[in-house]
Amino acid sequence: MAKYGSKFKLKIVMEYLGGTLGYKSLANKYGIPSESQIKRWVRSYKEFGEDGLCRKHSKQVYSVKFKLDVLNFMKQTGASYQDTAIVFKMNNPPLISNWYKTFLEKGIEGLQEKVKGRPSMSKNHKVKSLKQEQELSREELLERENELLRLENSYLKKLNAFQENPNAFLEKHKQRWHSNSKKKDSN
């Protein structure tokens, strides 16, 4: 949410343009921490009118080429963020500052639009697990195969016992289940 509303900004700009007070006096009068903020409002008002003071509710998406053009212009001319924003008909000089910092840190890749939201469910999760297996050492692969063989062996033993005498197998596991449930109840 914006700290200052457009009506408040317009009031201060009109008071400045009326000629009664300067930037510093207006900042002190209204409790604004920096007079440079009022300078930006006045400049935006002179260039864009009342629209220059309004906060835009829809997000403007800029292409990477446009961002690079803006940064290149600023570098070649030595223009300030405010001057550059006015030349490119933008109402948000701090946005250009963010682009510049991002460009210095991450290069052109940093200026690309970020994908938002959760990634979609893909069928590539199997491919990822195969890649992880390939990254495992030979010893780890052998340990994993050994564990899978143990599981298969125990499963087959239980299946064989069940097929030979289903009632005894069920009775044995029923007793184990009852004994486990009694332990849980006593806790």
| Predicted confidence (pLDDT) per residue in 90-143, tens digit | 877 888 888 899 888 888 888 888 777 787 776 665 655 555 656 778 888 888
Mean pLDDT by 10 residues, the chain (187 residues): 73 83 84 83 80 69 87 88 84 84 86 77 62 72 89 84 75 58 51
The closest alpha carbon to 108, from 66, 60, 61, 59, belongs to: 66
DSSP code of 141?
Answer: H
Contact predicate 98/114, CB 8 Å: no
The closest alpha carbon to 54, from 6, 7, 119, 97, belongs to: 6
The closest alpha carbon to 86, from 45, 141, 134, 30, belongs to: 45
Tabulate helix, strand, coil % of the chain (nearest 5).
Answer: 75, 0, 25
Rounded Cα distance between 182 and 139, Å, is 42
The closest alpha carbon to 47, from 13, 74, 79, belongs to: 13
Locate 139 and state its tokens: 């010893």
Rounded Cα distance between 72 and 97, Å, is 13
Burial per residue of 78-92, b for 16 or more beta-carbon CB atoms within 10 angstroms, e otherwise: ebebbebbbeeebbe
Locate 184 and state its tokens: 């849980």
Contact predicate 135/128, CB 8 Å: no
Question: pTM for this one?
Answer: 0.48
The closest alpha carbon to 16, from 57, 45, 48, 58, belongs to: 45
Q: Where are the domains of the chain?
A: 1-55, 60-113, 138-186
Contact predicate 91/44, CB 8 Å: yes
